[in-house]
Amino acid sequence: MRSLRPVRHLQLLVASSLALTALVGCQSASAGDKAKDTGPARISATRSSDDRPLAPDQTIKVDASGGTLTKVDVTSGDGEAVPVTGAWGEGRKSWRSTRTMTPGASYTIRATATNAAGERTTHRSTFRVRPAQLFNGVTVTPTNNKVVGAGQPVSVAFDHPVKDKAAVERRLSVTTTPRTEGSWGWVRDPLTGVERADWRPKTYWAKGTKVTLRAQLSGVHTGDSRYLRRDVTSAFTIGTVRVSKVDLSKHTMTVYEDGKKISTLPISGGSPAYPTWNGTMVVLDKAPMVNMTSESVGISDPYNKDVPWAVHLTTSGTYAHAAPWNEGKGIFGNVNKSHGCVGMTSKDGKWFYDRAVRGDIVEVTGSSRQTVPTGNGYGDWNPSYEEWQKLSALD
């Protein structure tokens, strides 16, 4: 019987050893899996496969495997090149650019990702954007934090016609304080052929409204291989709400400021042969003296005059101005005898000129002529708001 005890003891030791081996083996497998899960994150970024430059409107994409992205920057050392903004993918596993890039610029991608253990991986690569062979230019109105009238739209005019209007409009944004409803609309000047994207509110601006335009246009393709070169920003403030109501049947112009009637002036509008435009016009600019000729506006009745206190209303040549040559003849307040402008005495013309600012509103009624087209100056207010919204390139 004694000889059996060592054997039993040996069996117990073997069993204990096997159990320990199994436990250790289980622990080793878990540690291996954890090590596998916490390997370094890997970052890949969009690159030209053959090192050729990328198109200005090509999308940049950064991906992370085995971890998540914590930071992505796409920037250029070129002072004129725009930084590239982007958006995160689900779980920050990817990043995709959301804007176009400056033609001809060199860019650097800098990205950082971390794995489950918090270990950081970094990525840096460079690429160049294809230069543009042809450019399109823009002119923004108004600029330089000016104070303007309540009819002034935000206006972006283009040197060449824009074929892909939707691509351009998506890069335009207007912010206002207080918040103001409005819409972009595309118009073309019937005389100059200049094409514009204008943003106008649903109704005339409220006094004191602050307006900011941000146009992320650098690298946007406008058609016919033409690209826009730069981003544009502009800000302005709405001043006095000045509305001048011209009644050609009564030969008067009544001026209102912030809803209060200031003065009613006797005027003389366009004659039956050369009637004044009907509709709403907006002050474009003004000059103390302008030389006006019949040839400049295509009128057969010849004239060549230096006209004082000229407030410009349409690109086709409509002005509100002093007409001293008609004084003392019983014309002002009684008969329409001009070549299409709104004429006043020298005293009244100077009074109106001194008050007028860019963006002031002039509403004309009582003429036999049609309503001024949207692109002829800022005729943007003549369509209803619903009609204006349909001039947007976006649904």
Average pLDDT score over residue span 46-75: 89
- Contact predicate 194/158, CB 8 Å: yes
pLDDT at 86 over 80: yes
> Under the phi-then-psi rule, with left for phi > 0, alpha for psi from -120 to 50, and beta for the rest, what region is 144?
left
Average pLDDT score over residue span 199-217: 98
Average pLDDT over the chain reads 90
pLDDT at 295 over 70: no
Q: Which of 142, 135, 145, 152 is nearest to 281 (CA)?
A: 152
Average pLDDT score over residue span 167-174: 97
pTM (2 decimals)?
A: 0.85
Report how far Cα 311 is from the mean position of its chain's Cα atoms: 28
Average pLDDT score over residue span 70-96: 95
Direct distance between the N- and C-terminal alpha carbons of the chain, in angstroms, rounded to an integer: 99
Lookup: tokens for 173 = 């944004």
Which residues are CB-neighbours of 199 under 8 A, at least 6 positions away?
153, 154, 155, 172, 174, 182, 183, 184, 185, 213
pLDDT at 197 over 60: yes
When mean pLDDT is compared across 59-63, 113-117, 244-248, 303-307, the lowest value belongs to: 303-307
**Residue 79's pLDDT is what?**
86
pLDDT at 7 over 80: no
Q: Which of 53, 376, 50 is nearest to 191 (CA)?
A: 376
**Residue 294's pLDDT is what?**
67
**Residue 47's pLDDT is what?**
66
Q: What is the pLDDT of residues 243-288, one digit of tens each?
A: 999 999 999 999 999 999 999 999 999 999 999 999 999 999 999 9
Q: Domains (ranges, CATH) in the chain?
A: 42-128 (2.60.40.3780), 134-239 (2.60.40.3710), 242-381 (2.40.440.10)
Task: Output the DSSP codes for 72-141.
Answer: EEEE-SSTTSPPBPEEE-GGGSEEEE-S---TT-EEEEEEEEE-TT--EEEEEEEEEBPPPSEEE-EEEE
